[in-house]
Amino acid sequence: FSATLIAASASTAILIPPSIALILYSIVVPGVDLRALFAAGLFPGIIAGLVLVLPAWLLARRLGWENPEGAERPPLGESFRQALPALFAPVLILGGLRSGLFTPTEAAVAGVAYGVLVGLFVTRELNWRNLWKLCGEAGVISGVVMLIIALAGIFAWAGTMLGTFRHLAEWLISLSDNGTVLLILVMVAVLLAGMLLDAISIYLILMPILIPVMQHFGWNPVWFGILLAMNIAIGQFTPPVAINLMVTAEVARIRLEQTVGWALLFVLVMGSALVLVAIFPEIALWLPRVLGYAV
């Protein structure tokens, strides 16, 4: 249960700024303001977190998991104080973007620099030797990501040049004249893709097909991007692949199949949050409008 809950809650990071998936979406979809996407993901991300908290709290109370073996609860005030440096990172990034102090790319640099300074001089969990090792690991991970982007980019270019994506988009549009029906079909398709692929691959492969569909039905691109991100988040802890779940199951030293029952429960509650945002787009669009971003 703990491994599944951690995997499900970790998936909500795709909605809370700074989100690599939303950055990529703003690059792939022309005319979408990244600042609007970051603001739009805030309330859906909070809702996604709350719908996970509720069943976890109820199950913990019913099954007696609240205080196992008389364990002492960590003091709330001290825990919050220790979390303050990490909680300030989104404030720094969003504040810098909002004020125009730096671009999204520069925001990533500012976030990394802030994390390094906190790790070296505040929490002291980093030293110069570990930092060098982390830079090497980051280089390897970045190389893997760039390889995925390169291959997916070739696939997207080939599909565009051959007209395959255009035909697929036309076929999707021909399935129904009802935008709601087609939105449901698209969400199911993205969920299935999220069960097998990472967010970067999904955006680069599917967006050339989905952009004409989005434009045909007049869906708001910011709202649609948040729906896609929520859907991909669900796919990250949905078997058979379940990238997040594979990591937490490995750390917990349990078999992946032991988590399936709990995973389906959290898929259901996260799906309810997705449906809520789909029915009421203003949940995502209200904050960007208040902040004056183009949506």
pLDDT of residue 154: 82
Helices (H) and strands (E) in the chain, counts: 13, 0
Coil, helix or strand for 272?
Answer: helix
% of the chain with per-residue pLDDT over 90: 20
Using only C-alpha atoms, what is the Rg of the chain? 20
Average pLDDT over the chain, rounded to an integer: 85
**Domain residue ranges of the chain, discontinuous segments joined by +:** 2-66+151-290
Q: What is the mean pLDDT of residues 70-80?
A: 78
CA-CA distance, 169 to 275, in Å (whole number)?
A: 23
Given a cut of 90, whether residue 178 has pLDDT beyond it is no
| CA pseudo-torsion sign 67, 68, 69, 73 | negative
Is the pTM higher than 0.85? no
In terms of Cα–Cα distance, which of 42, 121, 123 is closest to 81? 123
Angstrom distance (rounded) from CA 185 to CA 151: 27
Task: Report how far residue 288's alpha carbon sits from residue 295's, in angstroms, rounded to the nearest whole number.
Answer: 7
Please determine, for residue 14, whether its predicted confidence score (pLDDT) is greater than 90. no
Per-residue burial over 38-73, b if 16 or more Cβ lie within 10 Å, else e, is bbbbbbbbebbbebbeeebeeeeeeeeeeeeeeeee
At 69 the pLDDT is 66
Give the pLDDT score at 67.
66
The whole-angstrom separation of Cα 132 and Cα 120 is 12
- pLDDT by residue (tens digit) across 191-230? 888 887 777 778 878 888 888 889 889 999 999 999 999 9
